[in-house]
């Protein structure tokens, strides 16, 4: 079965063709980073309009590169939420129209389920059950995954998502958008031990996170070292280290609590090199294994949506009819259609 995947939940237009026999055949991405950079964050209306411009050329490109054409597509998967309502509607409208005109089923995909299943596109795939650490711009969650659609939320951020904390702290430092990659680049020239940032909520039991205090800590430390360029880099390194160590502590706790040995890390912050290193070492010490998607599939992409869509089709899900909807707010594990 061959599935076209369409991702438009935020500021990336992602397309891919996944074949259940042959694997991922093609994928393409257009990032809107340059479009939103001067505003310091995503402007929803500009995002929707740009998806409209980019979708058709990218669909043509992935179809061409798949070695087949539209006639070979058996289903169209699209991100139906969570995300920006206008951006989601563009993708859903395209997906449902294509599916209808090609006479194939469409399937609605939860964006975070896409992230969570992204490691399945790599040569070394994790077996169920596993713990997933989802770290993106909008979510920080620890989830027990027993199979496709079998998710139990173990913990989540009570305030900022980890990507959001990276972005806000980077903004305080005057770095570009999105701040995560910029801040981690600056951290490379920083010293780890000049400043010590707290490890929020690690001194009490539980698997929830809080990251807004780290941003405030960074703001205060920056204010004490105005004009000191080296201090900026040292603060970036200390901030990143606090985030990474906090995530590691909570992952270790989740694995201990559940007795599981496999950890999947997905979402944009999963591309962070320091997180990949430290978690890798921690899992070796625990006798477990960590699975990351390749960095390009940690951030938003169409491949994960095509793959998750295929999984959902196997479960008998599909969308049909003339009406369609999206769910800008949608808890992972809840069915797409509200009762």
**Interface contacts to Zn ion, rule CB under 5 A:** 136, 300
Which residues from 267-326 bind ligand KG4, rule CB under 6 A? 267-269, 271-272, 299-300
Q: How far is the CB of 322 from Zn ion (least distance, A)?
A: 29
Out of ligand KG4, Zn ion, none, what residue 180 binds, judged by CB under 5 to 8 A for its kind, is: ligand KG4
Q: How far is the CB of 339 from Zn ion (least distance, A)?
A: 27
**241 lies in the site for ligand KG4, by CB under 6 A:** no
Q: Is 190 in the site for ligand KG4 (CB under 6 A)?
A: no
Tell me the number of residues near ligand KG4 by CB under 6 A.
Answer: 19
Residue 218 interacts, among Zn ion, ligand KG4, none and using kind-specific CB cut-offs from 5 to 8 Å, with none
Site string for ligand KG4, 139-178 (x = CB under 6 A): ------------------------x--xx----------x
* Other CB atoms within 10 A of residue 60 CB: 14
Report the nearest approach of ligand KG4 to the CB of residue 157 (Å): 13
Closest CB to Zn ion among residues 54, 110: 110
Residue 138 sits in the site that holds ligand KG4 (CB under 6 A): yes
Considering the complex, what minimum distance in angstroms separates the CB of residue 268 from ligand KG4?
Answer: 2
Q: Which positions touch ligand KG4 (CB under 6 A)? A: 10, 136-138, 163, 166-167, 178-181, 184, 267-269, 271-272, 299-300
């Amino acid at each position: 079965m061959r599935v076209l995947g369409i991702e438009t939940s935020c500021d990336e237009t992602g397309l891919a063709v996944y074949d259940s026999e042959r694997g991922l055949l093609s994928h393409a991405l257009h990032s809107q980073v340059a479009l939103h950079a001067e505003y310091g964050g995503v402007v929803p209306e500009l995002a929707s309009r740009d998806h409209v411009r980019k979708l058709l050329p990218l669909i043509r490109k992935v179809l061409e590169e798949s070695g087949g054409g539209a006639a070979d597509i058996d289903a169209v998967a699209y991100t139906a939420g969570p995300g920006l309502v206008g951006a989601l509607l563009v993708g859903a409208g395209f997906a449902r129209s294509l599916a209808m005109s090609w006479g194939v089923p469409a399937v609605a995909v939860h964006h975070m389920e896409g992230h969570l299943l992204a490691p399945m596109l790599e040569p070394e795939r994790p077996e169920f059950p596993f713990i997933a650490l989802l770290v993106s711009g909008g979510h920080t969650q620890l989830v027990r995954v027993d199979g496709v659609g079998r998710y139990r939320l173990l913990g989540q951020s009570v305030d900022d998502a980890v990507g959001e904390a990276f972005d806000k702290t980077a903004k305080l430092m005057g770095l570009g958008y999105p701040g995560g990659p910029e801040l981690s680049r600056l951290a490379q020239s920083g010293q780890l031990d000049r400043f010590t940032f707290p490890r929020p909520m690690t001194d009490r039991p539980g698997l929830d996170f809080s990251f807004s205090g780290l941003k405030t800590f960074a703001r205060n430390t920056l204010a004490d070292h105005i004009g000191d360029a080296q201090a900026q880099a040292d603060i970036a390194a200390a901030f990143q280290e606090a985030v990474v160590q906090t995530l590691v502590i909570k992952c270790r706790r989740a694995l201990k609590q559940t007795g599981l040995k496999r950890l999947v890390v997905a979402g944009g912050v999963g591309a962070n090199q320091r997180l990949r290193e430290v978690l890798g070492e921690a899992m070796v010490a625990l006798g477990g294994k960590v699975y990351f998607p390749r960095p390009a599939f940690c951030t938003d992409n169409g491949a994960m949506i095509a793959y998750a869509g295929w999984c959902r089709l196997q479960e008998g899900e599909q969308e049909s009819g003339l009406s369609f909807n999206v769910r800008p707010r949608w808890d992972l594990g809840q069915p797409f259609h509200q009762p």
